[in-house]
Structure 1
Amino acid sequence: MAVEPPVHDSLYRKEPKVYPHHVTGRFARLRNVAMYVLLGLFYFIPWFQVGGHQAVLFDLPARKFYILGLTFWPQDFIFLALLLICAGLALFFFTALAGRLWCGFACPQTVWTEAFLLMERWVEGSRQKRIKLDAAPWTPHKIARKSLKQFLWITFSVWTGFTFVGFFTPIRELGVNVLSLSLGPWETFWIIFYGFATYGNAGFLREQVCKYMCPYARFQSAMFDRNTLIISYDEARGEPRGGRRKTADKSELGLGDCIDCTLCVQVCPTGIDIRKGLQYECIACAACVDICDEVMDKMDYPRGLIRYTTENTLEGKPARLLRPRVLIYGMLLLVLFGGTLWSMTHRLPLRADLIRDRNALYRELPGGLVENVYTLKITNMDDAAHRYTLEAGADDAAVIELARPLELEAAATGAFPVRIQLPASSGAGVQRLELELAAEDAPEIRRTVEARVLLPVGGGS
């Protein structure tokens, strides 16, 4: 009896390449506008100057962040935390309102993939031409097309990596270093790394990033409800599906509005069939809505077989877009973002810390005075130089002596020795004083600094 050889089945199935069909329509125009606006902001903002600095520059060695004329310091980390909270609330708000709106129109993966697809279509042609070219043997024509596409992709990726590094190193200086071949090792590494990541994610992985790597696709269902706007196929109207002539009477054929052209599948960037219901791979780009509306127009059927709608609407139930959770998210987002923006634009451009000299508790002086020594650390976060005064309250008997004037250039930090003298009869132990630090040329720039003055326990001799 012959023994059959064992059969080895692979647990890994190679993902077929997705060739998205080019589509036009109102949602396609919105995606294109979003792509050009977002990419334009990314690539061009670093080249502009605002307030004497690069419009957006994260100067890590100097520990200063320049954003649209505002200078932020490490002490302003609270603003970053608030902005992250705003981003989280915005995610909840837009997901509860319209599903994966962010994924379809503004996600960097979607935006850069659209740019790479645009170059691919420009070089290799339509969907059918791309499929035919990939299946064809390697000829000079195919090598030329593929080489031109790779050249455009690599150039675009390197430019992306260069721009990314330009947000951390002044981009004009970075450009000179690139031309003179004098880049530092870290700058070189990050240009190559970010360029390679762009090339791999947007050029090759594409929909696989959304399907397998993005965590948002996994927990989005927890943020949906039956009143969330999602892209859906109207099964009651479309089924049973089937091909027919435009002049045919669908009621006599017993068919619904869906002509089973599969164009909704061909335009999907993740390769799903929206007619099978809501799937986590759907990024809500609405390409299927545009192409289906185009087909309905050709068939003289009403638009909306595939559309933004809610589960309740599809079931004939009333839908409520403005429901409590959406209103709460929206109000919290508006208040928090407005408060953060106001705080960022109205923050006091002055920080100060008074640090006591720990080498000596105090020093007794002639005349019954007790002296404490401090270091006053001042951060001038303004775009102009200032000279400051440090004064005690009118009711305090403190005498303040400065080793040198409190002068700082714009966006600078300095440490100044300060001596504070109090009569020993002012009390015993620790006395707290509130000192006023103010800019001489801008009295509105002032900050209260607390000083802890140590006095003899016995109240002095």
Structure 2
Amino acid sequence: MSEPLPSPKTSVADEMEDSLYAVRKKVYTRAVSGTFATWRWALVWFTQLIFYGLPWLTWNDRQAVLFHLTERKFYIFGWVFWPQDVFFLAILLIISAYALFFFTAIAGRLWCGYACPQTVYTEIFMWIEQKIEGDHNKRAKLDKAPLGVRKIAIKAAKYGAWGAVALWTGFTFVSYFSPLREMLASVSSLSFGPWELFWILFYAGFTYLFAGVMREQVCKYMCPYARFQSVMFDADTLVITYDEERGEPRGTRKKGVDPKSVGKGDCIDCGICVQVCPTGIDIRKGLQYECIGCAACIDACDQVMEKMSYPKGLIRYSTENAVKKHWGSKEIIGHVLRPRTLIYGGVLALVSLAFLWGLATREPLRVDVLRDRTSLAREVEDGMIENVYRLQVMNMTESARSFHFGVEGLDQARIGSAETSISVPPASTQSVTLRVLVPGGVGKSGANELFILVAPDDAPQERLREKTTFLMPN
């Protein structure tokens, strides 16, 4: 019989199709310690202390940070934001966008590697998994082991711990929009509102799914930032880099052996840099979009280099130009601070200062003047002409305040209402109807410029002067 013909060589298109539809290979990440791991965990603690802790803080006998959708008010410590303050949110989004451009242009995916919620909660869930199931080898063996009482007990403990963290995360998230005191009362009586229960379970479910089950799949296939990050990168962006010139050719050898004496590079091909990677990539193949910039491979490689008595930095934060041209730290810093990053940084600083200035000079009083459409102008007693206005007085402070009204802009104009002052509760809106009287013959026929004055009794210098029109009949 003739031998079977060799199969045709797989085309690039076939390889791409295989990779698109490949079955997921579970990543058993090896634990790592080091400088960057310490920074990563420091940010995990920092971000989660803020997230879980803020709802418990009180300010003026209320929750310090509360986005009260029912009242349509956002409370952030001493500030109370109303729907009319939406431009502050717009500025905050602009700041976030420029911060993303700025830090990505300088050092790549810093956000992804250290502060992204997906990274943070994956770290927490992986820590729980490691404490319950053991290191990466034990986890892999446990998954391959047949189902038994021990395996069920360990998996149940892990999933239970994950579920508890996820539910507490969902509860905390909802407590930013529904007062925590009410939420705690609902826990004791199991009387959550339908929307509160929905969002607790919804947020908890996605936390469990993303951080516990999908993990690197979210970063590789669902996160849009992974796809457009290359637009913000250039040859002077700090990224995690494998020094191929120094590391190749790879090969094993005994500790302390000079690589040149055996015709090899510094890389001993131990594969630990792959084992610690949360997305399972090999950084030695070059920068890949799956790399989240967590620097776990740097910590792992530095430890191996130290054991081999080789210089650290085979894998390090560097730039494409720095590796090719053998730059030192001074040259790298000089090129990182290039016109592009300086422009991003300058715009970011200016917008941030404008945002802070806007908050610092924000008026504690706001007044909306609306004309009564049912009666534009009419003649009343003594030949006076009356226009009626409806005022919405917003007390944006957290103490009750009294305000008095006045008018100017037309000769002999006065307020004909019985009430020339009003008391407004803390962080509330009060409506008042003002009748403004002007003698007939004053001004011109049609619209005349008029100013309504609103001044707090406790701070007359905060007086507002709202422009409107006074209509005189023909």
What range describes the TM-score normalised by the shorter chain of this pair?
Answer: over 0.9
* Residue matched to 1:278: 287
> Are the counterparts in 2 of residues 165 and 187 from structure 1 also a CA contact under 8 Å?
yes
Q: Deviations over 1:330-364 (max 9, x none)?
A: 11111111221221233111111111111122111
Q: Which of 224-233 and 355-364 deviates more?
A: 355-364
1:445 corresponds to which of 444, 455, 462: 462
> Are the counterparts in 2 of residues 46 and 171 from structure 1 also a CA contact under 8 Å?
yes
2:340 corresponds to which of 319, 325, 331: 325
* Residue matched to 1:436: 453
Give the secondary-structure state (helix, strand or coil) at the position aligned to 1:358.
coil
Q: Using a 3 Å threshold, how does the CA distance of structure 1 residues 373 and 244 change in structure 2: closer, same or farther?
A: same
> Are the counterparts in 2 of residues 375 and 418 from structure 1 also a CA contact under 8 Å?
yes
Q: Distance in 2 between matches of 1:403 and 1:127?
A: 79
Q: Distance in 2 between matches of 1:247 and 1:85?
A: 53
> Are the counterparts in 1 of residues 447 and 471 from structure 2 also a CA contact under 8 Å?
yes
Q: Deviations over 1:54-73 (max 9, x none)?
A: 11111101001111221111
> Are the counterparts in 2 of residues 403 and 416 from structure 1 also a CA contact under 8 Å?
no
> Are the counterparts in 2 of residues 385 and 408 from structure 1 also a CA contact under 8 Å?
yes
**TM-score for both structures, normalised by structure 1:** 0.95
Identity of aligned residues (%): 52
Q: Distance in 1 between matches of 2:239 and 2:422?
A: 61
Letter in 2 for 1:419: R
Q: Which of 214-223 and 442-451 deviates more?
A: 442-451
> Are the counterparts in 2 of residues 403 and 417 from structure 1 also a CA contact under 8 Å?
no
Q: Which of 123-132 and 313-322 deviates more?
A: 313-322
> Are the counterparts in 1 of residues 256 and 309 from structure 2 also a CA contact under 8 Å?
no
2:229 corresponds to which of 220, 234, 237: 220
2:408 corresponds to which of 390, 393, 401: 393
Shift of 1:377: 0.9
2:314 corresponds to which of 305, 308, 328: 305
Q: Distance in 2 between matches of 1:85 and 1:112?
A: 26
Shift of 1:53: 1.8
Q: Which of 13-22 and 420-429 deviates more?
A: 420-429
Q: Are 2:238 and 1:229 equivalent residues in the alignment?
A: yes
Q: Distance in 2 between matches of 1:330 and 1:389?
A: 46
Q: Distance in 2 between matches of 1:229 and 1:384?
A: 50
2:43 corresponds to which of 30, 34, 37: 34
Q: Which of 348-357 and 104-113 deviates more?
A: 348-357
Q: Deviations over 1:407-448 (max 9, x none)?
A: 101111111010111122222210011222110112233222
Letter in 1 for 2:256: T
* Residue matched to 2:9: none
* Residue matched to 1:408: 424
Q: Are 2:100 and 1:91 equivalent residues in the alignment?
A: yes
* Residue matched to 2:385: 370
> Are the counterparts in 2 of residues 89 and 329 from structure 1 also a CA contact under 8 Å?
yes
Shift of 1:394: 7.7
Q: Distance in 2 between matches of 1:395 and 1:453?
A: 9
> Are the counterparts in 2 of residues 432 and 452 from structure 1 also a CA contact under 8 Å?
yes
What 5-or-longer segments of structure 2 have no aligned partner?
Answer: 1-16
Give the RMSD, CA atoms, in angstroms.
1.4
Q: Deviations over 1:267-317 (max 9, x none)?
A: 000000000001000000000000000001001111100000001101116
Letter in 1 for 2:156: S
Q: Deviations over 1:179-228 (max 9, x none)?
A: 20111111111111110010000000100000000000000000011111
Q: Are 2:270 and 1:261 equivalent residues in the alignment?
A: yes
Q: Distance in 2 between matches of 1:419 and 1:157?
A: 57
Q: Are 2:263 and 1:248 equivalent residues in the alignment?
A: no
Letter in 1 for 2:433: P
**TM-score for both structures, normalised by structure 2:** 0.92
